[in-house]
Amino acid sequence: MSKLVGNAIFGQSGGPTSVINASAAGVITEALKTDCIPRVFGAANGIRGILEEKFYDMSKEDPRELELLKTTPSSALGSVRYKLADPDEDDTDYKRILEVFKKYDIRYFFYNGGNDSMDTCNKVSKFMQKVGYDCRVMGVPKTIDNDLDKTDHCPGYASAAKYVATATMEVYHDAMVYDTPMVCVLEVMGRNAGWLTAATALAAYKGTGPHLIYLPELAFDMDKFIADCKKAYKENNGKLIVAVSEGVKDKDGKYISEYGSDLAKTKDSFGHAQLGGTAQVLANVLKDELNCKTRAIEFSLLQRCAAHCASKTDVEEAFTAGQKAVQFAVEGTTDHMVAYERSEKDGKYFCNYILVNLADVANTEKEVPREWINAEGTGLNQHFIDYALPLIEGESSPPIEEGLPRFAKLKKVLATE
């Protein structure tokens, strides 16, 4: 395929991770050194920045700061939760994007996000094809939820998993310290897929983890939960650590957080219920049932932004995924997402970068296989441990100044025509 000459734009979307900026660094540094891409733009707040013609000229950034993006959590360009309409119903946004792309001669569009973002990517790509505007559209995956289909795992997951496992080990040490009963309920992010909650099983594998783990893949039964807890509490002499996904729900689809929680149940713009309070609801239940001190711990935002405890494997893969997106696009690929394929080299874990159709990943949700969960539905087996261990290998942390992380500081110079 002939070389397409034109400018590139990159955007970040959805919930932040510890490594979404590593992918940004991969895309931006690779695009900046690519001959057929004269200018590289960074969209402020993802697709919204494109719609509002607000984007930054990435060539104006200090290369050292771009390097620091690798170890800076969250989305340096700003993120967004904005769902594009079905173009057959309302193509206003698409026409606007086309207008902006034409105005700035944008021929490469890189979008970094989860399944909702791959849907955005897919819709934009299909529209550009339909109107005959030559633009290569590439998705770069990211999600701590690890629920994108067609990829072995997702950038951002391993770092969140490493943090969750590490913190669980530490909390275990802390919670076990008194000679009195202690029940601790840990709440981990994950609406429909329990990959991140499953990471607490890595702490259990190290002998310091939860006694019971509940994923949203299986219907949550309160009576069984209470029975499970009473049994484990007794077996462990009054010590009990339970990990639950924020998204556990009963067989009727009712979230456990709705059981007794008085927390707001507003919906975000994608229509997902705002979850939270699952651990507190369960801790209250156990307090009554076991008549002992209970504590609910939500890992909250900490689990998705703990760049100080990131997986080096994850950071490097996320960076490479960004680079590969540019390389594949320049070579002629469009309408695809860069994905990870698990492989082996010299008997060790090795990651291949492959391409999958955007249409195949948009709005998908990959769950933890039932065979990886124990028969009782209260823990993970060796399949999961073998899957997760290579991903959390290696320690990445930001450079330190005065005892604290030095995160990237971008100038964010607004691009002009």
Does residue number 117 form part of the binding site for a copy of itself (CB under 8 A)?
no
Does residue number 50 form part of the binding site for a copy of itself (CB under 8 A)?
no
Q: Are 388 and 199 in contact (CB under 8 A)?
A: yes
Looking at the Cβ atoms of 305 and 358, the one nearer to a copy of itself is 305
CA dist., res. 115 & res. 117, Å (int): 5
Size of the site for a copy of itself (CB under 8 A): 62
Q: What burial class does residue 291 get, using C-beta atoms within 10 Å of its C-beta: 0-12 exposed, 13-18 middle, 19+ buried?
A: exposed
Select from 61-69, 115-123, 262-270, 321-329 the region that touches a copy of itself (CB under 8 A).
262-270
Cβ within 8 Å of residue 175, ≥6 positions away: 182, 184, 239, 241, 295
Could you say which DSSP state residue 267 is in? B
CA dist., res. 414 & res. 208, Å (int): 49
> Smallest distance, Å, CB 308 to a copy of itself?
5
Task: State the CB neighbour count (10 A cutoff) for residue 137.
Answer: 25
- Contact residue for a copy of itself among 395, 411, 413, 414 (CB under 8 A): 395
CA dist., res. 57 & res. 36, Å (int): 17
- Contact residue for a copy of itself among 179, 223, 252, 371 (CB under 8 A): 179
Select from 92-100, 117-125, 145-153, 389-397 the region that touches a copy of itself (CB under 8 A).
389-397
Select from 132-140, 201-209, 320-328, 329-337 the region that touches a copy of itself (CB under 8 A).
201-209
Does residue number 151 form part of the binding site for a copy of itself (CB under 8 A)?
no
Could you say which DSSP state residue 273 is in? B
Of 168, 248, 175, 163, residue with least CA distance to 204: 168
CA dist., res. 410 & res. 413, Å (int): 9
Cβ within 8 Å of residue 258, ≥6 positions away: 265
Does residue number 342 form part of the binding site for a copy of itself (CB under 8 A)?
no
For the question of residue 90 being annotated catalytic, the response is no
Does residue number 48 form part of the binding site for a copy of itself (CB under 8 A)?
yes
Does residue number 264 form part of the binding site for a copy of itself (CB under 8 A)?
yes
Looking at the Cβ atoms of 131 and 300, the one nearer to a copy of itself is 300
Select from 199-207, 334-342, 361-369, 376-384 the region that touches a copy of itself (CB under 8 A).
199-207
> Smallest distance, Å, CB 307 to a copy of itself?
6
> Smallest distance, Å, CB 163 to a copy of itself?
9
Concatenating the DSSP letter of every residue in 341-374 gives EEEEETTEEEEEEEEEEHHHHTT--PPPPGGGB-
> Smallest distance, Å, CB 112 to a copy of itself?
13
Does residue number 320 form part of the binding site for a copy of itself (CB under 8 A)?
no
Does residue number 368 form part of the binding site for a copy of itself (CB under 8 A)?
no
- Contact residue for a copy of itself among 23, 29, 79, 151 (CB under 8 A): 79
Looking at the Cβ atoms of 74 and 327, the one nearer to a copy of itself is 74
Instruction: Report the amino acid identity of residue 355.
Output: L
* Interface with a copy of itself in residues 155-174 (CB under 8 A): 162, 165-167, 169-171, 173-174
Which residue in the list 91, 93, 116, 145 is annotated as catalytic?
145
The residues pairing with 243 across neighbouring beta strands, listed in sequence order, are 186, 213
Select from 63-71, 124-132, 203-211, 374-382 the region that touches a copy of itself (CB under 8 A).
203-211
Does residue number 402 form part of the binding site for a copy of itself (CB under 8 A)?
yes
Of 4, 113, 93, residue with least CA distance to 49: 93
Crossing angle for the helix pair 278-290 and 222-235, nearest 10 degrees? 60
CA dist., res. 389 & res. 146, Å (int): 15
Looking at the Cβ atoms of 217 and 314, the one nearer to a copy of itself is 314
CA dist., res. 117 & res. 269, Å (int): 13
Q: What burial class does residue 35 get, using C-beta atoms within 10 Å of its C-beta: 0-12 exposed, 13-18 middle, 19+ buried?
A: exposed
Looking at the Cβ atoms of 122 and 311, the one nearer to a copy of itself is 311
Q: Are 115 and 148 in contact (CB under 8 A)?
A: yes
- Binding residues (CB under 8 A) for a copy of itself: these are 16, 44-45, 48, 72-75, 78-81, 162, 165-167, 169-171, 173-179, 184, 202-203, 206, 208, 262, 264, 266, 287, 293, 295, 297-302, 304-309, 311, 389, 392-395, 397, 400, 402-405, 407
- Give catalytic residues, as residue numbers: 145
